[in-house]
Amino acid sequence: MKAPIILAVDTSDFETAIAWIKATENSVSVYKLGLEFYLNFGAAGVAQVVKRTGAEIFLDLKLHDIPHTVAGAAKAIEQLKPRFLTVHASGGRAMVAAAAQAVPDISITAVTILTSLSESDLFEIGYGSPALESAVALAKLAVAAGAKALVCSPLETAAIRSAVGPDPIIITPGVRPLSEQGSDDQVRTMTPADAIAAGANYVVIGRPITKAWAGGAEAMTQKARAIADEILEALA
């Protein structure tokens, strides 16, 4: 059974991306293709991934520009039919609305506060409120503008779920199995099971699964299955 995992396919090698998807397809629900992948392989690369694997795609481009430009970019991506397309909520109400109106069949997914940012980072950037308050405000703005999904730190998930209600999909990066805590650059983290319990619909997991590729496809399959089972057992 698949778990509500979005696997971060963070590789610059196309065939490796295909192999990762095939190795984890029985455990993972959706696959995140980000800016690195898109700049390396373009729309044609995304289309080939879908054609060869049948995977559902979370296209994580974090669009952020004036509303007209973001609407045009979203329309250009529409033919790829990703399930999710990310924009920065900090682009403002009009920008999020422009994206949502341009591609009504795609879930425009608003990113609140990046999980790599600490409170001191936010202060340095110029945010006037702590991460929790800022993330909740951005989430409410984005949903009101037409976003169907949100990306937030697991530490803000419960507050955002309370603020936006049950309908928007909440996706949380920055989740790490207990064995992986403190191993990378994301500073606001939680276990996958705890993030789901807090109100997330999906958790984004990358390196805890993909680093198993060093041991081969079967090792990666087993690692994905173990993490999927951890989440599914918590939901049972």
- Cα–chain-centroid distance for residue 108? 12
Whether 22 sits among the annotated catalytic residues: the reply is no
d(CA 152, CA 138): 10
* Candidates 22, 62, 140, 148; catalytic one: 62
Handedness of CA 55, 146, 110, 60 (dihedral sign): positive
- Annotated catalytic sites, by residue? 62
